[in-house]
Amino acid sequence: MPRMTWCAAALAAGILAPLAWAAPPPPAAKRYNVMAGGYYARETQDQEWRLTLVGEIPSLPGAYVVVHDAHGRLIHAGCIPQGKHPPEKPYTVTIKPDGITGDYRIIIIGHQDDMLGLQVPFTDLPQEVYGGGSMSMGHDYTAKPYFRAPEGVTKIKLGAHQGQMQIYDADNKLIADTRKGGGREKYDNTIEFDVTPGMTYRFERQTMYFRSYTPNAFFLAFTPDRWFAPDPKLMEVKWWELVKETPPADAEK
Amino acid sequence: MKHTQSCLGLAAGLLLAAMPAAWAAFDVRTTTVDWDQVEPKKSFTVFVEREELSALDRISRMIFAVQVGTGGGKTDGLTVHWQVTQGATLVARNTASLAKGLVDVMFNVAELKPGRYDVKAELRQGDKVMDQGATFFRVVDAKPPAQKGRVALNLPRGAPLKGGAWPVSTGVPFPKGALGSEKNVRVVKADGTPVPCQTIVRSRWGCAPETSIRWLGVDFQAEGAPAWWPERKDTRYYLEFGPAVAAPAAPVKVRVEETPDGLAVDTGALQFLVRRKGFNLLDRVKLGGRDIALSDPRAGLYLEDHEGSVYRAANDPNILLSVEERGDLRAVIRAEGWFVKDGSAGEKLNYTLPTDKLCRFITRIEACAGRPWVRVLNTWVLTFDSHTVRLRDVGWTLPIEGVTRAEFGVEGGDPLARPVGEKGIYLIQHTPDAFALEDGAGQGLAKGARSAGWALASGRHAILGVSHRETWQRFPKEFEILPDGLRLHIWPAHGRVNPEIDQYRHEQINRLWYAHQGRELNLAMPWQYFFATAQITGNPSTGIYSPGGMPIGGIHTSAMGMAVTSDVMLLFAEKGAESAARDQAAGWQVAPHALPDTAWTCASLAAGYMHPYSPDTMKAAEETIEDAVKGYWETQDACGEYGMWLYRPWHHSFLVEAGKLTLYRLYNATHHYESIMPWMLYARSGDPFYLTQGAANMRLLTDVQVQHYNDPAYPHREFWARQGRLVGSTKHTNGFCPWGGDHAVLAHLTCYGGMMLAHYLTGDLRWREVVVDEWQKTILTDRRNPEFSRADRTDALSPTGVAGNPREGARDVTNALGEVIDLYQMTYDPRVLALMAPMMDYFLNKFMRPWGMPVHNVVLFYGSEQAKKQILESVEERRRLKDKAEDPKAFWYTHAPHENFALASILNPAGNAHIDAWLAASVMQRRSWAAQIRKQVPHATAFCAVPDYILYLPRVMYAVFQAGGELSLSRLATSQPLLIGDTANAGWVRCVLRKDKPGALPLQIFGTVGVAGVKVKVFGPDNKPLVETTIPSGAHAPFAWPVPDAGVGEYVVFIRAGDNKDSMYAPISDLPEVYVTSYWSQHMECRYFTRSPGEATVRIKVQPHKGSATVMTDDQTVLASTDKGDEVSCDVGPKGVWVLLKTRYAHANPPIVLSYSPDRWFAPSEEKLRLKP
């Protein structure tokens, strides 16, 4: 595992330490199964934080996790072992303070059963969103996440795979519904709707899989306060090129 | 033909009468057969094994099978009442119980008169008719083949021993009706001297022992001979057959006797015991009656897990031991059981550690008369979870006392001989090009490139040797010699990593080093394979149709169910006879094989319609085959495809650079029916290259790419399709490693037919076992297994069909049909017919999509008139409409249109479809394609395109020769798309007709005209307008318009049609008719003729717009071609040329005069060329 650099001076001064705890800790969130192309977290203050994976990985070879930042630095890469990872004993990777703040992208590679076997949130950072690729939240239709439009985005197009979805604004007004006036892209029922950057929207679905046709515009959070728009530079990072070595756990092979 | 279930209400009941004696003669044997009730829907199947029968078949069979469906109750009390009629005459009738699910009625064909016979049957419960069914068969006249003859048996690789004889095996096919008994054959030398032989029937032409032999296994011992190939002249042996022929007795026989301890074997030179309890390979070994090897209960097969526990075959108290084949010259003993842990009770079975039982073995010991050695064909089956279990050592221990000297064969060099110290000595082949010789302490003694695959241990009383075939090709391997024995390590005990190799580089990643190096055998693919693939391809997608999706499949796969089969000689020699021992060991590596005359094989039709190797008369085609197939193999050599888990699969995609393959669908088991290819090519040519290629592939396919074991408690699922394991199921192409990804038993991706042909030709019993005891057993008796439905892709057979494109899914049913037809001819299990019936119905009445060999097998084996009619009609439609033909049966949804034409020609040689076949085969263009493959030009081909083309070329050649060999395009009179839109003439195309006799001029056009209609103007010989008309919008078949007689001479017909709007066909008359144009369009590919007006040649130049053009002579010699839209030009004389265009637009400079056929061509007068519309 790549080693993180320490910001020894800052820690020694203890300047950051109290600041790290100034922000209220995130609420104990209900956990949800989410499958997405990326899981994003924001570190606003340099701190030690944890990648905490709860759930079950049914596949015998496990699943794989890659964490990087917007500068293309590999923060962590390794195999999540097969088996149950309960809340009281999650699979945890501790990321040491390194003097750098910013956004991170977490990528899980594996079978859908593994990805949906894990439950977000994946970090103990205060903000965390999910988006990209073919997404799913399994069959938990009580999950009704929020999203906002990133800066510069005024229209979003979404697709519900062989199913339906609805978008509500902050006043709970239905602003888009695939059942009413939607379109069709192969197997997806689609909706395209106007959004106002900064406004909060809510998403409901009757579909296992859904996707955004508007790139880098649709990120979900389960409470509005945890939402943020990930640094677009994250999407440019070729994360697959960062993993060059066989992690020690795999090194026997 | 409707052979399956029909609705109630079929008219006319069965006649009630006493059964005449003739009926008893018809009904040879009725048997009730257990048929699992597993289908959700009820059905009643009435099916005859073949539609077309003759007296040569002698006995045939019909089956009646029931599926009661979900909730349909039991089969108790069900009966079938059947009758067979010919016209109004009742031939036979009977009743049988269907309590078991299936009734098999064998009937006598020999006495039946030619004609159609109808079979009707009722399914009854008591007196109540539950269902009815009907089918029919036809009896035709057939001329019996010669009942005696002589067949050359050639030795393509020679026979290795100069001063002795070497056992060889072969498979000899016979035409239907030629040979009834395996006793009526003998082998003779070229001078006619008989030699002892042993025969066994491997397949018959029919379902009963009374039917004639299709494939006969023959064993004999050949004296030393040079290789028959490539000169193909030196035939040393013949097989003679006939009613008066019998083989002489063998002077030395191999004997096998049951004893309380096991099977005692005596070859005359060697005696040994195969123990029933404590199976340790060979026990109590005597050479010439003298004890030479210790009886060691810990000897034999063993393996060691990563925790250091040792498991032995000798610890299994319950092995299955039997004599599988027995004769005077060769006996095969089969032992099967578990590797059981030392010190355990041998009861606990777990897919991970701890377990008492780890892996299974299937060992075949072949003993040959007079030989001091045996063949051991040992299959080791993995039964563990490869994510949690690793192995340190897999080997054979062979005891011999007092070993002081070791000798190791070196390829291309002198053997390495060394004394044996206390700790022994070993040679490890750790890469395909490097071995190390080390003492037991690990001290290096020598290094080299390639082991010759053998080692000798000189003991106190005798020499013990082991010779392992293809050692460096199947690395890593180790030969270890100790003071008290010899060990062959299938996985080395002294394994190592090769640190100089970066396994993640593009040129290395396909070699799967993780599975081929290291102290331990670890079959869990590292995750880094995914990242490396993503880095190499620049694509991180994990979808099934992306490169990254392949290693994801491989990372998630399990090696449980894989196998490794080792082909080994164990030899014994007198002390001091090292030279003789070396000769034997080296001779083993030659792997001699006898092959029947290739023309005989092809003429027998036992391997199907194919023409024998003909380099003199079909030079270009033979060179194309050779370059494409050998180039494929050489590319694999260059890409380093060696290794025990990798020698040698097929590919799907491309070579991208020297030594680098496309990583998307890197390996493919056989999803384009590849695995039969080398065997067909070997059988028709005798080139031993194809035997090497075929055997290497077949061993890998049947070991690594077919599943042999499952533990129901094992929770593992493959990444793709979430499948578990199913015994007998074949892998596909989506796993990066050959054993990764999805699998199927009935689908487009199998080639069990290849395994069968390989067995017929060689007698390899493991290949037969995989087909019969694994695949057949599963598809007939394991259909309730939840994994079965996941591995059965014939969903299209279900009433709801398959989602998406049904034509796409058709290939799963049709390939499966071809496979079960081949299976049936191997085993004649009547239950196979119950599987075949709905597939045949689908094939005939829904889709005939060619994939594998279904069309060929239906035509040759089943003989369906409906299929024949549909093939011929489809070919006619294709000739007329090309790719615009409707093709409702998906007959042209194929990679191999040349096969379709070839089969049509075989069915009707007078129809000239052999010319279409040759044209579709495009042999000259393919010649350059094959040459590029041979030169390993990157992107020369997707490798799956090689079998798509090559598999069916010998069939095209067969069709061409059967039809007389003439390939003249003039004989193909097919309509062509009308040329339209000559921009040089304001869109009018100029057609000139020459009328030589008085009378009206009837013109007609076939085709479709758009809304604007098509204007036509006709000018007479005097250039005055005669008719002006508009062909109206619509489909015309035809639109005719008479033109008044304006005398003899040249008429000009101007036609102005719209590009993309009007699709019409030439010719428009039955007169000499030419089109004169410099720029035109056509709505589909076309073929027109042109020539010089006189004796002097003229230069033609034609350029297809972004398409292809070929100029060829009438006998299809290519003069010029392009597939890139370049201009083609050549000189044309009075014999003329054909211009074939696959393009929408073309132009010619100067203008060109084209006609539908040579006899229609003429040179119009100049004034006709100046006439304006």
Residues A133-142: tens digit of each pLDDT: 889 999 888 8
Whole-number Å distance between alpha carbons of B885 and B1084: 11
Q: pLDDT-derived band of residue B1010, with 50, 70 and 90 as boundaries? A: very high
Whole-number Å distance between alpha carbons of B755 and B695: 10
* pLDDT given for residue B801 in this prediction: 56
Q: In terms of C-beta distances under 8 Å and separation of at least 24 residues, what long-range contacts does B767-774 make, across chains too?
A: B767/B698, B767/B702, B768/B826, B769/B362, B770/B702, B770/B706, B770/B708, B770/B728, B771/B823, B771/B826, B772/B826, B772/B827, B774/B706, B774/B708, B774/B727, B774/B728
Whole-number Å distance between alpha carbons of B999 and A218: 79
Residue-wise pLDDT tens digits, B676-706: 999 999 999 999 999 999 999 999 999 999 9
Q: What average pLDDT does the segment A204-219 reach? A: 95
Q: Would you call B95 an interface residue with chain A, using a CB distance cutoff of 8 Å?
A: no
**pTM attached to this predicted model:** 0.92
Q: Would you call B306 an interface residue with chain A, using a CB distance cutoff of 8 Å?
A: no
Whole-number Å distance between alpha carbons of B766 and B325: 13
Q: Would you call A64 an interface residue with chain B, using a CB distance cutoff of 8 Å?
A: yes
Residue-wise pLDDT tens digits, B531-561: 999 999 999 999 999 999 999 999 999 999 9
Q: Would you call A61 an interface residue with chain B, using a CB distance cutoff of 8 Å?
A: yes
> Mutation test of the interface with chain A: which of B522, B531, B541, B550, choosing the one with the most A Cβ atoms within 10 A?
B531
Q: Would you call A79 an interface residue with chain B, using a CB distance cutoff of 8 Å?
A: yes
Residue B237 and residue B218 in contact, taking contact as beta carbons nearer than 8 Å:
no
- A61 contacts in B (CB within 8 Å)? 387, 524-525, 527, 555-556
Inter-chain residue contact B528 with A239, CB threshold 8 Å: no
Q: Which amino acid is at B690?
A: Y
* pLDDT given for residue B802 in this prediction: 55
Q: What average pLDDT does the segment B625-633 reach? A: 98
* pLDDT given for residue B687 in this prediction: 98
* pLDDT given for residue B5 in this prediction: 40
Q: What average pLDDT does the segment B937-953 reach? A: 97
How large a percentage of chain B has pLDDT more than 70?
97
Among A83-87, B185-189, B291-295, B494-498, the range scoring the smallest mean pLDDT is B291-295
Among A21-25, B419-423, B736-740, B806-810, the range scoring the smallest mean pLDDT is A21-25
For residue B448, count other CB atoms closer than 10 A to its CB: 19
The residue assigned the tokens 């007795």 is: B249
Chain A, window 180-239: residues with a beta carbon less than 8 angstroms from a chain B beta carbon: 238-239
Q: pLDDT-derived band of residue B800, with 50, 70 and 90 as boundaries? A: low
Q: Give B649→chain A minimum CA distance, Å.
A: 23
The answer on pLDDT for A28 being more than 60 is no
B408 beta partners? B416, B455
Q: What is the ipTM of this complex?
A: 0.88
Among B20-29, B222-231, B815-824, B1128-1137, the range scoring the smallest mean pLDDT is B20-29
Cβ-nearest to A253 among B522, B719, B722 = B522
Q: What average pLDDT does the segment B804-822 reach? A: 92
Q: pLDDT-derived band of residue A1, with 50, 70 and 90 as boundaries? A: very low
Beta-carbon contacts of residue B229 (< 8 Å; ≥ 6 apart): B154, B156, B157, B686, B687, B688
All structural domains of chain A, each given as residue ranges with its CATH number in brackets, are: 1-16+31-132+229-248 (no CATH), 139-217 (2.60.40)
Residue-wise pLDDT tens digits, A117-136: 999 999 999 999 999 988 99
Residue B399 and residue B294 in contact, taking contact as beta carbons nearer than 8 Å:
yes
Pick from B444, B452, B458, B432: which is nearest to B494 by CA? Answer: B444
Q: Would you call A162 an interface residue with chain B, using a CB distance cutoff of 8 Å?
A: no
Q: What average pLDDT does the segment B134-138 reach? A: 98
Sort strands B52-54 and B128-140 into parallel, antiparallel or unpaired: parallel
B881 vs A91: which has the higher pLDDT: A91
* pLDDT given for residue B445 in this prediction: 97
* pLDDT given for residue B798 in this prediction: 67
The answer on pLDDT for B23 being more than 70 is no
Beta-carbon contacts of residue B786 (< 8 Å; ≥ 6 apart): none
Chain A, window 83-122: residues with a beta carbon less than 8 angstroms from a chain B beta carbon: 109-111, 113
Residue-wise pLDDT tens digits, B493-530: 999 999 999 999 999 999 999 999 999 999 999 999 99
Whole-number Å distance between alpha carbons of B716 and B787: 12
Cβ-nearest to A111 among B514, B548, B719 = B719
* pLDDT given for residue B701 in this prediction: 98
Inter-chain residue contact A111 with B530, CB threshold 8 Å: no
Cβ-nearest to B385 among A60, A252, A253 = A60
Q: Would you call B720 an interface residue with chain A, using a CB distance cutoff of 8 Å?
A: no
The answer on pLDDT for A9 being more than 50 is no
* pLDDT given for residue B884 in this prediction: 78
Residue B1054 and residue B991 in contact, taking contact as beta carbons nearer than 8 Å:
yes
The answer on pLDDT for B163 being more than 80 is no
Beta-carbon contacts of residue A147 (< 8 Å; ≥ 6 apart): A129, A200, A201, A203, A218, A219, A220, A221, A227
- B555 contacts in A (CB within 8 Å)? 61
Which range has the top average pLDDT, B760-774, B879-893, B1002-1016? B760-774
Whole-number Å distance between alpha carbons of B119 and B372: 58
How does the average pLDDT of chain B come out, rounded?
94
Q: Would you call A250 an interface residue with chain B, using a CB distance cutoff of 8 Å?
A: yes
> Mutation test of the interface with chain B: which of A64, A76, A80, A109, choosing the one with the most B Cβ atoms within 10 A?
A109
End-to-end CA distance of chain A: 17
Q: pLDDT-derived band of residue A246, with 50, 70 and 90 as boundaries? A: low
DSSP, res B415: P
Q: Which helix (H) or strand (E) is B899 found in, with range? A: helix B897-907
Whole-number Å distance between alpha carbons of B1059 and B1104: 16
The answer on pLDDT for B589 being more than 70 is yes
Residue-wise pLDDT tens digits, B1091-1121: 999 999 999 999 999 999 999 999 889 999 9
